[in-house]
């Protein structure tokens, strides 16, 4: 027979289910997010401007921003 391997592949014994979860100190999702954000590179001002341009947004630190925040709801006017 062509294409049939007569040797058996070595198979590792099954690991305990959930064993990988017990080796690390538990943390909240918020703490995990903070750690991941700290590990990622910071965006440059140029990248923020490029993303704002793609999304059609005006960044808050730009002098052209004139819309005041909606004080009743506490949300920005959009």
The pLDDT score that the predictor gives to residue 62 is: 59
CA–CA dist 15, 53 (Å, integer) = 49
DSSP state of 20: G
pLDDT of amino acid 29: 93
From CA 30, how far away is CA 38, in angstroms rounded? 12
- Name the least confident of 4-8, 30-34, 64-68: 64-68
CA 15 to chain CA mean position, Å:
29
Mean pLDDT value of segment 13-19: 63
pLDDT at 7: 64
**For residues 4 and 7, what is the distance between their CA atoms, to the nearest angstrom?**
9
pLDDT in tens, 33-45: 999 999 999 999 9
């Amino acid at each position: 027979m062509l294409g049939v391997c007569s040797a058996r592949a070595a198979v590792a014994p099954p690991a305990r289910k959930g064993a990988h979860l017990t080796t690390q100190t538990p943390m909240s999702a918020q703490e995990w997010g903070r750690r991941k954000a700290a590990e990622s590179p910071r965006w440059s001002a140029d990248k923020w401007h490029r993303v704002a341009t793609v999304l059609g947004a005006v960044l808050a630190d730009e002098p052209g921003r004139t819309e005041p925040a909606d004080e009743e709801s506490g949300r920005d006017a959009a």
